[in-house]
Structure 1
């Protein structure tokens, strides 16, 4: 064997590693130069030089490679600790790859060719120390939980505080938020922190309603079923209603509205295919009400004394006999009202109600979804109240013409493009008010042409008089909204203990993270709300509000910094840093711009349509905040055509036809499709409503179902859907991006149980009592098209094992 041949083979591994480090170094150097030119960190430039030189020294088989790499690894560890401290998920992309390469360089078969004279270089010892330091740093970070709050509620009740929501049997769930107050609190207590780990599937039902070939991308199963009248009522994405036996899941009846556009070619342009719920009305509930003279109200004669109201995806409101599933012929035109009346033209799917209507003694009241960012000539956001028995229009409230609630005349059209309410109402029949979480006037990111009337009621809470539709009060949460900060969650009504006594409160959760707490009788703030200065400088033709309201009760995240940019390797982290520094960002409410702006919190929201749940006895709120940054870029109208067609509400250019700008709006993601901001991205938390303080806050959920490798890493993932709480002290949530229904101890946030689901469950679960006297927990697992969770058609009920 020749000496030259043996030496050549021994140099193979250092040479291969040298090539790798040289390429890594050059790539990091190029990115580091660009980042430094944007005013970003110099680390990547310097580290790129160090890695490239190490690679060259390895190719030359110089022992100095060991010492130089030791310096790079040591400096990287110190830099990482300076930037993020002992935060495991922040340290991993900074150090893991460098640590692994350091271990490789210490292997004898790679190190030996560099030590041809047999001397033990100082570099070997230095590299060993640097590797150990990086490893110890990573180990120490395992014992920290940045961003989490540990706490313990020390009470089971607040003296004198009770559940004051409208009365119903304890075992029922007769409205989307259990009651018309939207509290999502059940007085059931069979399931406790001590026994919840014994939950097992009781039955599974499959609706058969799955996405079709021409359905929109955002075909979603966001339904919270009702349990009332001895049945469960489920609605599906294609607006079917199914009545099930609560104990067995056996189908009792099914109603299919035969959508006029189902599986038709023009379905492809739709933004959503969603049914969040149906609404129940029972004449008997009101038959025993006392009139002002003290006598009972006379029962209403009706062919359907118990009704289910269904909003359909093809713009109808249908009344069904809750006992049989047959259409109530006395409502509207043989059981239905055409919601296209007086709306004007719109593209398929551009207007319909994705959320259940509200009901009162005499009225069924409905709003509507209007597709964002298509044009400036979209349908009105009008709220319409129909007679609950006849379907006759009683009043209409149009935020573009807010003072005239007289039913619109035939042939007239409601104000085009006025702010809408696509979410769920809350109702207080004792005070005679409806509470509307309002959206804004499309387009979302350009408001130069908005009218004073539309500005007044947008992105806030408006209280209407039930009988007349007149405005009783309103409070705006985002002034001149340019960030799609419509109020998505159902308002929550409860009696709240304060230093000034018990007050009737409404809690409104918002995308920006504030929870606004108002006296629901008059709209006055119970928890202080302050106007805070925000960044200025809108695009030409628009303006910004100098301040925005911020509640003292909030879960708003701190502003992003460059060091918050994240990735699984230093390279995608570097790209995210370049992206971050390339865009405009001055904190929350940074105006949209031509260069691109970061929107954080994003329009996905800290809180979206899932809202919050409250325990009125313990006086706490149970919440699931999410933190995902988005980015928006304004596109001049003349350049929109060159960008290609709009694909969905988060893909392609949103055209904003009629406005001077379109917009590209998308999540702030790395090239690997992961969030650019560091985890955690989702939490569960509890708030003590007696002092407005966060009791506890824990990251929640894993990346098992959203990463290329299905490893259940507990990073804390976003959730879409709401929570509910129980008198038993257990809260439930199913909306995370991984496929689980989870139970938590509401006193400290400890996860007590999880049940694996066959599909995503971006819904709000619920609980009820069966005919067998047992407490059930029910969840719809159908997935969410635009979030990419696994789709299905499952309704699953759990109860305690015997």
Structure 2
């Protein structure tokens, strides 16, 4: 005797009520999405769930057949939309798979007969098989090898075992010629020593973005580093023992947007100035806008610098003086006779900020030699004591590079505040914003400039240090400059002239800016680009079908016409977001192989312009406005619009775009070919449970490469240091860090002859990674 398909099941009515409620949620949200022009699937799935809820409440076994059909249709739809890509499939099917498992639990028989689970069990097995196939296939992975070149590299002024500048040398390559650590032995790296600075975020007056981003220097057997709260420390490079500490005694409350120090700068003497006791010098820019010169032997100020003070005041000749609103978060450039200084200004606070002037001072005395003010670019002779630089002009907050043989310093420029509205920018601001500018070392005059974004409305500052490397192109050895950008371009330029060595094309850009503004007709795109494909409704993601539906609705509500969609009062989707495909960590370049190790990151942001009725109301900060001197970010006092900026996330706070969100990738700089690309990092430290899913996570903090064929990176938002094979990108080793590693590591040779890897684990305030104060040296066993 066979059971009737309408026979009652022993399921409780509450299961039916919950299922029907979930169905109504999908039905309502799906109808909203359809009205916006989106997919009909959610409406259909919601209607089926409501039917299932009724069948469950009535205890009808036919619900198993209905759910089998729903799960089968869902898997077909998921594969049609996402292909064999596990995480997008999981977001679409996870709720229905869990329901299937629940329905297949060993409930008692109905009417003494089996429940007829066969069709649903078969569909579930097929779903599991599809999932297993997607686990074994990564559509985002690009496998390949970088070429094994062994070309002659330019001679380095830095000894092989040392690290004298942020990028090891003034060329900013972040490449070490050390070879002791190799792909064959890197897995044997162990901590050799750990030093704790005692300096962590959370002190009174700290802004949200208080970060430990330093890359230490190694000179002789000493390491030199700075802390977020501006102390300078010298350590024994072999043992990690503290040798001295200098506190520059930053005074008073400061209007800080960022509190960080990415590094100090080293100058090899001797000084020709009588009475100068400093054989060499360390330069430290402080958060209250001083440039301090220290003796690397003792940590004491150099008396001949700054007229006996050991420091100079960077507020000199500045407009709109507001302590903390201007200072150099990045290490200054040092040449044989000059120290070249830029600085960050407050972003999106007001239209009355300090100048973005670039200044060159005598490295021994601190006397002003020249000043390049992008608001007055032709007048570079030292400004008069009673004059001021142009207020609110484009600034350079990142790290510059220098080629002393060519006599040029290369400056990555930011935008003029406010970032998202440019209706009143001057012609000079339009010309130099978001550009890399080559300045004559002797005079400060512009030799050439290359603009990476025209009329930037997206906070696409040039964020990273230009990397200088000689490339073999067309059989010729060419002095090149490689410039990473937030929008994902790697521009490869002739550093003598600024002319592209790899093709750059101008492509039409979306139009329709906010009232009183305009957009550029075209935007430049490099032949070597990590620009991601445009987002589509199929790109939307979430932990479940429900928050994915919310992301789809939000996607259709926002303005989005691809990259360079102008900000709007209704909300614009900005992708890549202003976090950047590349940020201040930049890239690492092997000058022998002429290849780049890169860490592209992909996060979408939402930019919404808020019309301002006056110059005082806080439209964005509201009741959460910071206290004291901390600035009211994104209010744009004096502009017609404030701006709301936030990541494009689901109601659960998960990125609306499907992973991966971060990669490691290798590129041939001579051809522009991306040889390999692999998702990088796990969500272990950004989920409620420590789940080590390798989804590919955002990165901030740069990589380094070595002549041993190994690259190192700590900047992912999970707390790890990792090593990779430069040729293939394969991960070779990882080690758990005690805090976030949002800094660029470095490597050096100790007095014991061992090669050390030096890692900073201190965390990043605005990313929310774990705070710490750790300096960790790794080495192979003796």
TM-score range, shorter chain: over 0.9
Deviation at 1:283, TM superposition (A): 1.8
TM-score with structure 1 setting the length: 0.93
- What residue number does 1:486 align with? 461
2:4 corresponds to which residue?
Answer: none
Aligned mate of 1:576, from 545, 551, 562: 551
Is 1:696 aligned with 2:694?
A: no
CA–CA separation in structure 2 for the residues paired with 1:153 and 1:108: 55
In structure 2, the CA distance between the partners of 1:653 and 1:216, relative to structure 1 (3 Å rule), is closer
Query: Is 2:730 the partner of 1:750?
Result: yes
Match of 1:654, SS state, is coil
Runs of 4+ in 1 over 6 A off after TM superposition: 298-301, 650-653
Which residue in the other structure is 1:247 paired with? 238
1:283 counterpart SS class: coil
Q: Hey, what does 1:290 align to over in structure 2? A: none
Q: Is the 8 A contact 1:166 1:181 kept in 2?
A: no
Any residues of structure 2 matched to 1:713-792 within 5 Å, and which? Answer: 713-792=693-772
Tell me whether 1:170 sits opposite 2:160 in the alignment.
Answer: yes
Partner of residue 273 from structure 1, selected from 259, 283, 289: 259
CA shift, 1:797, in A, is 0.3
Compare 324-333 and 507-516 and name the one that shifted more.
Answer: 324-333
Partner residue of 2:655?
675
- Rounded Cα–Cα distance in structure 2 between residues aligned with 1:692 and 1:314: 42
Look up the SS of the partner of 2:76 in the other structure.
helix
Deviation per residue, 1:387-435 (Å, 9 max, x gap):
1011111110000110000111112111000000000010000000000
Q: Partner residue of 1:706?
A: 686
User: What corresponds to 1:17 in structure 2?
Assistant: 15
For residue 678 of structure 2, give the secondary structure of its aligned residue in structure 1.
Answer: strand
Q: Which residue of 2 aligns with 1:5?
A: none
Q: Which residue of 2 aligns with 1:135?
A: 128
1:106, distance to aligned residue in structure 2 (A): 2.1
TM-score by length of 2: 0.96
Residue 363 (structure 1) aligns with: 338
Ranges in structure 1 where 5+ consecutive residues have no aligned partner: 1-9, 288-297
* Alpha carbons 1:651, 1:665 under 8 Å: kept: no
Distance (Å, rounded) in 2 between the aligned partners of 1:189 and 1:119: 68
Which aligned pairs between 1:19-418 and structure 2 lie closer than 5 A? 19-109=17-107, 112-113=109-110, 116=111, 118=113, 124-155=117-148, 157-158=149-150, 161-164=151-154, 166-211=156-201, 212-261=203-252, 266-267=253-254, 269-283=255-269, 302-333=276-307, 334-418=309-393
- Whole-angstrom CA distance in 1 between matches of 2:564 and 2:778: 43
How far is the alpha carbon of 1:165 from its aligned partner?
5.5
Structure 1 CA distance, aligned partners of 2:323 and 2:43?
Answer: 52
In structure 2, stretches of 5+ residues that fail to align are 1-7
Q: Using the alignment, how far apart are the partners of 1:166 and 1:433 within structure 2? A: 17
Q: Is 1:608 matched up with 2:583?
A: yes
Secondary structure of residue in 1 paired with 2:30: helix
* Pairwise CA distance, 1:118: 3.6
Q: Give deviations 1:460-500, integer Å, cap 9, x for gaps.
A: 11000001000000010100000000000100001001115
In the TM superposition, what is the alpha-carbon distance from 1:65 to its structure 2 partner?
1.6
SS for the counterpart of 2:126 is helix
Of residues 631-640 and 96-105 in structure 1, the stretch that sits farther from structure 2 once superposed is: 631-640
* Corresponding residue SS for 2:331: coil
- More off after superposition, 341-350 vs 608-617: 341-350
CA shift for structure 1 position 154: 4.8
Of residues 515, 520, 537 in structure 1, which corresponds to 2:490? 515
**Shift, 1:147, TM fit:** 1.1
After superposition, the C-alpha distances for 1:692-713 in whole angstroms (9 at most, x for unaligned) are 1011111111111111101111
Structure 1 residues 636 and 174, CA gap change in structure 2 (3 angstroms): same
User: Alpha carbons of 1:443 and 1:69: their partners in 2 closer, same or farther (altered >3 Å)?
Assistant: same
User: Contact 1:651–1:664 (CA<8 Å) still a contact in 2?
Assistant: no
Deviation at 1:637, TM superposition (A): 0.4
Residues 715-769 of structure 1, C-alpha deviation per residue, up to 9 Å, x if partnerless?
Answer: 1111101011101000000000011111001011111111111000100000000
Aligned partners of 1:283 and 1:300 also within 8 Å: no
